[in-house]
Structure 1
Amino acid sequence: MTASDASQVKHLSGDLALRVGQYSAAGRKAENEDAIGIRIPDGNLLTTKGAVAIIADGVSAAEAGKEASQTSVTNFLSDYFSTPESWSVKKSAQQVLTALNRWLYSRGRSFADNTRGFVTTFSALVLKSQQAHLFHAGDSRIYQMRNGSLEQITDDHTTRVSEKHSYLSRALGLDVHLEMDYRSLSIETNDLYLLTTDGIHDVLGRDRMEYMLRELTADLDLDLACKALADAAFAAGSKDNLSCQLIRVDQLPAAGIDDVVKRLTELSFPPFLEEGMILDGYRVVRELHASNRSQIYQVEDVESGAQFCMKTPSVNFDDDPAYIERFVLESWIGNRINSPYVIKVVETDRPKSCLYYLTEYIPSITLSRWMLEHPRPAVEEAVYLIDQIAKGIRAFHRRETLHQDIKPDNILIDRNGQVKIIDFGSCHAAGLSEIETAITRDIALGTAQYSAPEYTVGRKPNYQADQFSLAVISYEMLTSELPFSGKLENCKSPRDFLNTHYTESYRINPLVPHWIDGALRKSLRYQPERRHADVMEFAYELKHPNPLYLEYRQRPLMDRDPVRAWKLIAGILALSQLATFMLLFS
């Protein structure tokens, strides 16, 4: 993370303060097959990824149980913190665990006699902001102690075959398909989390551990408390390995609104810039765009002559913490999207005197301007551009980020026909949304005529929302008209959306194939779950005819559009009644 990155998330960092302790011993066994690990990163990584504690118990029946447990702990602690910071805790952990499980399973299957299974239990606790995230498979356990009461917060994945014997039904490396429990819960100051293997909790039991923790954690450091629990289990006759971890929450990142605003406003808003002015070594060439929310300038590095775009915040919002937070995070988000179809954020070591960020400068026109100059483009040319836009949107989605403002003015086309998506001001990154802040965040809505219905009706948007916006743009590119007769921006309720009428694109532009219209219709559906599963699936269907859409056109109107069919029937009945009435009284 660069110094600039650090400053951008500084206001979110707060003060998550933890105390930890751990202990592991072989006990009466010849070898310790347990593995434990804790990592509390420094600085902003603690804010964006959190702190992690893991305990794993290699399965004794599998000869490589020790290697499996150690590999699982070591690799997870390394790979989890290497996942994109924009990803949520759940996605980051699940991606790592899926890969780890497949590796363990394949290692176990690589032996001809299948005697060396790489199988281990796995219990991980991730503490981020004010939430605890649990990932669990097997019979190791995680407990939470709050207000002196100890509660088991994971379930044992065991199947009992007799009073004395049971076997694991879930574990890492046990099956190619991993079933991992996930749970999240709120953290409170002074919460204590205990992670144990069965060599301790099966012998001591919950009540005794609760009693010991009340006494031990008041006077001893947590390493000694862990050792005391292990010693007690050994003295009680435990025949298994002995491992446990303790994590106490001493302070939560609950900064007050004044503290957050102070961190946000460490850099002042820049002055109004004019052509020829120099700011931090960048000379203003010209103003490219100005609105009530921001300004964009073409600037030139005085030393190197390199050309950039500089985006500055509007002074209209210099006292609005939600706006400032969104602006300072724009370049943080943009810097994590790596795609030839997305504008690149430029980071330099040059210190900033005020609030702004730089992107690459590309001589280009907006898609809005392109559509004015090409009112009825060749279908192949439009599809070529749409495919590039889809690839750019997919780059956001791969970082678990929604753009939320896909519209023609936010899409550039250079002289070679290369597409660049711009503007990160409305983006929603899952990883950042998990971080608590005192700021009441605004819900950034895109332009109404290009926004998916879920933003208006209060449904939580997902990747299909960006896909809907792309479908609106695609329809407009092919027909020079907006879908639903341009009435989307006037819709305020589910009924309004359902009362809109879709006009087939080929009725406006006869050159549009029916199967392309079928793909457009599907991505423009009101219900997100009825749209394409992925934006690239939509792009694929624009280039490859889907026979289902040809069949759809041949089906009766009542099957294709029952609402429209009943409206037509009602209209015919009304006309017939009117005609009968006129005949009676003529």
Structure 2
Amino acid sequence: MPSQLKISVGQYSDKGRKEANQDFYGTCIPKEPQLSSKGVAIALADGISSSAVSQIASEAAVRSFLEDYFCTSDAWSVRKSAQRVLTAINSWLHSQTRQSQYRYDKDRGYVCTLSGMVIKSTTAHIFHVGDARIYRFRDNGLEQLTNDHRFWVSRDQSYLGRALGINPQLEIDYQALRVEEGDIFLLLTDGVYEYASPHFIINTIKEHGNDLDVAAKAIVDEAYRQGSPDNLTVQVVAISNLPGQDADEVCQQSTELPFPPILEARMVFDGYKIVREVHASSRSHVYLAVDNETGTPVAIKTPSIDLRDDQAYLDRFLMEEWIARRINSAYVLKPCAQTRKRGYLYIVTEFIDGRTLTQWMIDNPKPDLETVRGIVEQIAKGLRAFHRLEMLHQDLRPDNVMIDNTGTVKIIDFGSTQVAGLMEITTPIARSHLLGTAQYTAPEYFLGESGTTYSDMFSLGVIAYQMLSGELPYGTEVPKAMTRAAQKKLTYRSILHDEREIPAWIDDVLRKAVHPNPYRRYEDLSEFIYDLRHPNQTFLNKTRPPLIERNPVIFWKSVSLILTMIVFFLLFKLTNRGI
């Protein structure tokens, strides 16, 4: 069995010399598969003395962070997941203050600081707002990892510059650090670190390394002895074991299942009756089958037996179903619910009664603009479902788009999809930057760069261009341009010609969507789709014919007026000179 992430935690909190404890803390260590897919979460919140309800804010912030973080999609990165949760917490606390008697005095409302950590695989993700602190103990030294959001007016007077609940918008400090076995992290409120010396903390950790609860209490007691007037809270987190090189099993199914036999019509296979082969390639086989229990037609995809020893291929094959189960869109292929134990390695999905976009373009060589718009819009909706989960399809091409008999478009084949949440695991699924088809692959991939949502937009733009013209915007030159200098020389081929009635501004829309520089494309897919239907004024002004062609009468009247004004000006000058 591969090793797992293991941590030890010691925690202690005391009201100190105050009447109530406004601090709150917590730790959540989930079981597998969430331990690998989401990691371990630790959080510490500190109330402010000016508020009588700050302890409510502290408890709500910590509980919500620890609970809601694990409810976010495991496809999301840690940063996106935690920041979405913290933003929601901040909005809730701010609204509570706005609805309370403290709406005109924010410092007395539902306000607190928060310092949190998520340790996932071999990385510590730190989120911080306020003046609590996070330290790392390594090599017999303490390193402060966070900055205090406290503004000092004088030596004796200061105020918080940032906290949860103060403003409707939240600015969160974030950093990611590689961790090592033996690392110890400490989360301390200001009532502790201002009174317990680093020397004492280091010695205490060394002395009580086998009982971190005792160490946490000893540090709190020391701060109290040194005269701390504040609440006192300490969390000590020790990394005792990190995941091994096989930690990516969380996103894979067991590859110990045998490869399925060659399937043929009328064969009964794992509870399915094979009807016919739908598609075959060197990488996979797809069959139409009927579920014997429900009578529902399904598609069964089996891996190529020739690639049985290619672990990277098998990983990507198994990832397809994992990805499909996390996307809920009418425009993305849907997997079937698994109600029986499988005896072989394969994937079962809905059966799409239709044709690929490649075949559709062959059958419809000159589609009207409105039909093309409808197809592109549906593909864009499917892509946005990927992007909302921080996934990039990375292999969008006509062969990976199906159109069923009702005209509904669905994106299929997720073998090249990149998932942000899985890329954070120690050894993410092995993949190359160039898994897609070269003609539809964005230029930045050929520079060795990672893809972005702009990359999927490029592929969609190429598809739209091809549907309208039957050609590619740069021909076959993009895969050859493997330097920035070469990409700057790529020449876009205008889609406008005498055989097709396409508005000139549509050409500019496509030119922008497939620009070689990803940052000169549209900011979002929605902008691209909008411009396909609504003439962009910038493009209209660019393609607008000159005034002499649009309205010759006004043009010549304007010229005559200008000439008349020049004549009068010259006469005026001559008169002033006495000529």
Q: What residue number does 1:547 align with? A: 537
Any residues of structure 2 matched to 1:492-571 within 5 Å, and which? 492-507=482-497, 510-553=500-543
Contact 1:264 1:325 in 2 (8 A): no
Any residues of structure 2 matched to 1:285-300 within 5 Å, and which? 285-300=275-290
**C-alpha distance 81-132 of structure 1, shift in aligned 2 (>3 A):** same
Give runs of ≥4 in structure 1 deviating > 4 Å.
256-264
Q: What residue number does 1:140 align with? A: 132
Tell me which moved more, 224-233 or 137-146. 224-233
**C-alpha distance 497-147 of structure 1, shift in aligned 2 (>3 A):** same
**C-alpha distance 384-399 of structure 1, shift in aligned 2 (>3 A):** same
Question: How much does 1:259 deviate?
Answer: 9.6
**C-alpha distance 502-284 of structure 1, shift in aligned 2 (>3 A):** same
Q: 2:241 and 2:513 mapped to 1: Cα distance?
A: 46
Q: What residue number does 1:36 align with? A: 25
Q: Which of 95, 100, 111 is the equivalent residue of 1:106?
A: 95
Q: What residue number does 1:561 align with? A: none
Contact 1:255 1:438 in 2 (8 A): no
Q: What residue number does 1:581 align with? A: none
**C-alpha distance 465-509 of structure 1, shift in aligned 2 (>3 A):** farther
Question: How much does 1:58 deviate?
Answer: 1.1
**C-alpha distance 130-48 of structure 1, shift in aligned 2 (>3 A):** same
Q: 2:237 and 2:425 mapped to 1: Cα distance?
A: 20
Q: Which amino acid aligns with 2:71?
A: S
Question: Is residue 366 of structure 2 the alignment partner of residue 371 of structure 1?
Answer: no
TM-score (norm 2): 0.90
Question: Is residue 196 of structure 2 the alignment partner of residue 201 of structure 1?
Answer: no
**C-alpha distance 525-407 of structure 1, shift in aligned 2 (>3 A):** same
Tell me which moved more, 61-70 or 367-376. 61-70
Question: How much does 1:373 deviate?
Answer: 1.1
Question: How much does 1:112 deviate?
Answer: 5.5
Q: Which of 65, 81, 85 is the equivalent residue of 1:96?
A: 85
Q: What residue number does 1:17 align with? A: 6
Question: Is residue 70 of structure 2 the alignment partner of residue 78 of structure 1?
Answer: no
Q: What residue number does 2:478 align with? A: 488
- 3-state DSSP of counterpart to 1:505: coil
Q: Which of 459, 464, 467 is the equivalent residue of 2:457?
A: 467
Q: Which of 161, 175, 187 is the equivalent residue of 1:169?
A: 161
Q: Which amino acid aligns with 1:269?
A: F
Q: 1:532 and 1:29 mapped to 2: Cα distance?
A: 56
Question: Is residue 64 of structure 2 the alignment partner of residue 48 of structure 1?
Answer: no
Q: Which amino acid aligns with 2:203?
A: Y
Q: What residue number does 2:56 align with? A: 67
Question: Is residue 268 of structure 2 the alignment partner of residue 268 of structure 1?
Answer: no
Deviations 1:384-443 (A, max 9, x none): 111111001000000100000110111111111111110110000000010012875433
**C-alpha distance 15-234 of structure 1, shift in aligned 2 (>3 A):** same
Question: How much does 1:298 deviate?
Answer: 1.1
Q: What residue number does 1:563 align with? A: none
Any residues of structure 2 matched to 1:169-318 within 5 Å, and which? 169-217=161-209, 219=210, 221-255=211-245, 265-318=255-308
Question: How much does 1:467 deviate?
Answer: 0.4
Deviations 1:472-491 (A, max 9, x none): 00001111221123433443
- 3-state DSSP of counterpart to 1:330: helix
Which structure's CA Rg is the greater one? 2
Q: Which of 386, 392, 401 is the equivalent residue of 2:391?
A: 401
User: What are structure 2's unaligned runs of at least 5 residues?
Assistant: 547-579
Q: What residue number does 1:5 align with? A: none
Question: How much does 1:205 deviate?
Answer: 2.8
Question: How much does 1:553 deviate?
Answer: 2.9
Question: How much does 1:448 deviate?
Answer: 0.4
- 3-state DSSP of counterpart to 1:461: coil
Q: 1:465 and 1:267 mapped to 2: Cα distance?
A: 35
Question: How much does 1:506 deviate?
Answer: 2.1
Tell me which moved more, 183-192 or 495-504. 495-504
Question: How much does 1:493 deviate?
Answer: 3.1
Contact 1:261 1:321 in 2 (8 A): no
Question: How much does 1:349 deviate?
Answer: 2.7
Q: Which amino acid aligns with 2:528?
A: F
**C-alpha distance 440-402 of structure 1, shift in aligned 2 (>3 A):** closer
Contact 2:422 2:428 in 1 (8 A): no
Q: 1:534 and 1:261 mapped to 2: Cα distance?
A: 29
Question: How much does 1:263 deviate?
Answer: 8.1
Question: How much does 1:110 deviate?
Answer: 2.6
Q: Which amino acid aligns with 1:461?
A: G
Contact 1:407 1:473 in 2 (8 A): yes
Q: 1:408 and 1:308 mapped to 2: Cα distance?
A: 22
Q: Aligned-pair RMSD on alpha carbons?
A: 2.2
Question: Is residue 46 of structure 2 the alignment partner of residue 57 of structure 1?
Answer: yes
Deviations 1:60-100 (A, max 9, x none): 22332111111111111111111111000000011111111
Contact 1:478 1:509 in 2 (8 A): no
Contact 1:260 1:438 in 2 (8 A): no
Q: Which of 350, 367, 383 is the equivalent residue of 2:373?
A: 383
- 3-state DSSP of counterpart to 2:112: coil
Q: Which amino acid aligns with 2:266?
A: G
Q: Which amino acid aligns with 1:132?
A: A
Q: 1:39 and 1:402 mapped to 2: Cα distance?
A: 30
Q: 2:252 and 2:349 mapped to 1: Cα distance?
A: 26
Any residues of structure 2 matched to 1:310-459 within 5 Å, and which? 310-437=300-427, 440-459=430-449
Q: Which of 135, 149, 172 is the equivalent residue of 1:157?
A: 149
Q: What residue number does 1:479 align with? A: 469
Q: What residue number does 1:8 align with? A: none
Contact 2:45 2:114 in 1 (8 A): yes
Question: How much does 1:147 deviate?
Answer: 2.7
Q: 2:341 and 2:136 mapped to 1: Cα distance?
A: 45
Question: How much does 1:496 deviate?
Answer: 3.3
Q: What residue number does 1:87 align with? A: 76
Tell me which moved more, 481-490 or 33-42. 481-490
- 3-state DSSP of counterpart to 1:203: coil
- 3-state DSSP of counterpart to 1:346: coil
Q: What residue number does 2:561 align with? A: none
Question: How much does 1:519 deviate?
Answer: 1.3
- 3-state DSSP of counterpart to 1:121: strand
Q: Which amino acid aligns with 2:314?
A: I
Q: 2:306 and 2:224 mapped to 1: Cα distance?
A: 67
Q: What residue number does 1:572 align with? A: none
Q: 1:72 and 1:554 mapped to 2: Cα distance?
A: 56
**C-alpha distance 262-402 of structure 1, shift in aligned 2 (>3 A):** closer
Deviations 1:253-300 (A, max 9, x none): 013699999985322222222222222111221111111111111111
Q: Which amino acid aligns with 2:144?
A: Q
Q: What residue number does 1:575 align with? A: none
Q: Which amino acid aligns with 1:169?
A: G
Deviations 1:290-323 (A, max 9, x none): 1111111111112322111111111222112211
